[in-house]
Amino acid sequence: MEGPAPLLARTAAPETGGDREAAPGCDPLAASGPALVAGIGFRHATGADEIVALVRRALDEAGVAAGRLGLLATADDRAGDPAIRTAAAQLGVPLAAVAVEALREAGRRGVTRSARIEALRGVGSLAEAAALAASGPGGRLVLARIASPGATCALAASGDPS
């Protein structure tokens, strides 16, 4: 796949601010530079509040400021769900709809595996695959998949040092 995943919808993205110091135990490259992508997997009954809370928890666990979040990404067949669209709006970031082929290609670089998701989607982690695909060809995981009762989230950063 060349370039980032296609965007489904755009909302006004906040300024990411300048470079920030890395939190203890955080990769300094992940704490400054390009905006982060939050890949999201979620069940149909999951609400926007749960997704937003999980993204905020992921940013906290990665030791990066919320202002570093630049994009939410999920599978293209889930991107029209009101919960994910509302979550993106509440977080003030665009939403990327990632095609199945891009998910499968990026999913090879994931580090966690769910047998259920692998059977349904052909990737070990939808959250990791979406984050990696939307972060572009050189994207790398900053935070492996974490979960709440109805959603999963992983963070990736672009490999582009700009």
DSSP H or E run through 55: helix 48-62
The pLDDT value recorded for residue 121 is: 73
Alpha helices by DSSP H, listed for 63-121, are 82-91, 100-107, 115-121
Structural domains counted in the chain: 1
Domain span holding position 66: 40-157
Residue 18 lies in a domain: no
Instruction: Tell me: pLDDT of 33 over 50.
Output: yes
* Span 62-109, pLDDT tens digits: 999 999 999 999 999 999 999 999 999 999 999 999 998 888 887 788
Residue 94 lies in a domain: yes
Question: What's the CATH number where 122 sits?
Answer: 3.30.420.180
Instruction: Tell me: pLDDT of 151 over 90.
Output: yes
Q: What is this structure's pTM?
A: 0.77
Pair 133, 40: CB distance under 8 Å? no
Q: Decide: helix, strand or coil at residue 31.
A: helix
Pair 131, 154: CB distance under 8 Å? yes
